Amino acid sequence: MDLILLILVPVLTLAALMTAGTKAQARMIAAAGTGVQLVLSVYLVIVYLMERGSGNIEQMLFTEKYVWFNTLNIYFSTGVDGISVSLILLTAIVTFTGVLASWDVDYLYKEFFISLIVLSTGVFGFFISLDLFTMFLFYELAVIPMYLLIGIWGSGKKEYSAMKLTLMLMGASAVLLVGLLGIYSYSSPTGATALTFNIIEIANVDIPVEAQRYFFPMVFIGFGVLGALFPFHTWSPDGHSSAPTAVSMLHAGVLMKMGGYGCLRVAMYLLPEAANEMAWIFIILTSISIVYGAFGAIVQTDLKYINAYSSVSHCGLVLFAILMINEIVMNGAVLQMISHGLMTALFFALIGMIYSRTHTRDIREMTGIMKLMPFLSVCYMIAGFASLGLPGLSGFVAEMTIFVGAFQNTDIFHRSVTILAASSIVITAVYILRVVAKILLGPAGDNLPSGIKDAVWNEKVVTIILIVAIAGMGLVPLWLSDMILNSLGPITEKLALIK
């Protein structure tokens, strides 16, 4: 399959959106465009699996290479393996449901959908790029529309949140850029003319350890900030709480995954010696993220804050898993990215739907909404169960893979932090059930607006798609897990060689 299609479809959608006149047209075009993209992504998974099934063991499939800037050897080179394919599918699902969840945007609807699609273009481009430079370019393309989306269509302290989020992420990408250029400058043993940005080519070069020690923290922190690495996670609660529904969905569901993906694909893969040496520092930071985020979520009273802290905890687990360095646990990291992406998108979608009916997100002001909107409440419970790792839903598969994998490290340090990380399953249960008990159950409150109706069709489509994906992954995980595992070989081999 031609991967460029994954960029082309959003671009065409954008062009069509420019011509849209009415709100109905704009949202139909956006839904159609992202729908096509979703079909395309499913198709990509199928052809990918067929290609692998027919015995193709190339590291990257469907590779293409377009010259972009010859003098500096910048290419737009694309290709996918099991990791990126699964994340592309996640992105397509979340984008499509995100568009449906913003069906009733009233203000500057055309511009809203344009920004949303630009954002998703950035994400798709990021996941198919094999070239550090274009990867970085798409990364920025995804981050910048976020500023507009929160600043214009947000709520609450939206200017503050938008500014904070953008500044922190931009600050991180400045550090990241230095790290990437550093890798570039060591990317050729033969001389300056043969320097390259291509990840696969750089992986064959041995970057001196002294240089790696500088660049690894830069790249890891640069991507890690987007993955809510403690103590650089504070953009997340404010950003999520101010963002409109679809933006929260995309941001927590997909953008934060770019952080994890970047850490895995660039920091760990290209700088393996430093990764092995310095992992312990970041393991400590991510362990803090996991437990700290979960405890932070216990006392929050705003639904979005609870979910933002929960994301800090769950995304901390992703980075934690990447740093434990073995095949099982890294597989778990990718599974956790997908699982968290799906369930957090579901959470934010539901919070948006509940908010649009109750006009509050404060859990102290809601009670017994199970009686008023049973469909949404049941969906919220399912999302909660996925989050606390109920078997049969996606969270269990990912978390257990991480814990089992992390425990295969034989030293006491790795095992103790694994036990610490595993204890988060209890704390998660506490904050999830607290919310469920407070807002969904109990006698129906009388302070809520009267005449509340349950979900309408587009909301049902959103929640059902996401729940089917979550349950699908939770019930039949083997194909996904195998697809990812088979692609982790090059990365773990390189890391293990150094060990």
Residues at the contact surface with other proteins, assessed by CB under 8 A: 164, 167-168, 230-235, 292, 295-296, 298-300, 327-328, 368, 370-371, 385, 388-392, 396-397, 400-401, 403-405, 407-408, 410, 418-419, 422-423, 425-426, 429-430, 433-434, 437, 440-444, 477-478, 481-482, 485
- Identity of the residue, 444 or 456, whose beta carbon is nearer to other proteins in the bound complex: 444
Nearer to other proteins, 263 or 467 (CB): 467
Q: Closest separation between CB of residue 445 and other proteins, Å?
A: 12
Q: How far is the C-alpha of 128 from the C-alpha of 64, rounded, in Å?
A: 10
Minimum CB distance to other proteins, residue 306 (Å): 11
Q: State in angstroms the smallest separation of the CB of 345 from other proteins.
A: 22
Nearer to other proteins, 124 or 235 (CB): 235
The least CB distance from residue 389 to other proteins, in Å, is 8
Residue 303 near residue 359, CB atoms below 8 Å:
no
Identify which of residues 356 and 416 has a Cβ nearer to other proteins in the complex.
416
Question: Residue 23 or 434: which CB sits closer to other proteins?
Answer: 434
Amino acid in position 106? D
What are residue 155's phi and psi, to 5 degrees? -140, 165
Smallest distance from other proteins to CB 459, Å: 18
Nearer to other proteins by C-beta: 47 or 425? Answer: 425
Nearest to 32 by CA among 114, 92, 96: 96
Residues whose CB is less than 8 angstroms from the CB of residue 36 and which lie 6 or more positions away in sequence, other chains included: 9, 13
Task: Decide whether 24 or 167 has the Cβ nearer to other proteins.
Answer: 167
Beta strands in 73-157 (DSSP E): 74-80
Report the SS3 class of residue 275.
helix
The pair of structure tokens assigned to 46 is 């199928």
In angstroms, the CA 109 to CA 402 distance is 41
CB of 4 to other proteins, least distance (A): 34
In terms of Cβ atoms closer than 10 Å to its own Cβ (0-12, 13-18, 19+), residue 382 is buried
CB of 481 to other proteins, least distance (A): 6
Q: Tokens standing for 279? A: 């992992």
User: b/e string for 212-239 if b means 16 or more Cβ within 10 A?
Assistant: beebbbbbbbbbbbbbbbbebbebbbbb
**What is the torsional sign of CA 213, 410, 291, 376?**
positive
Contact between 225 and 169 under an 8 Å Cβ cutoff? The reply is yes
Which residue, 46 or 298, has its beta carbon nearer to other proteins?
298
Q: How far is the CB of 83 from other proteins (least distance, A)?
A: 17
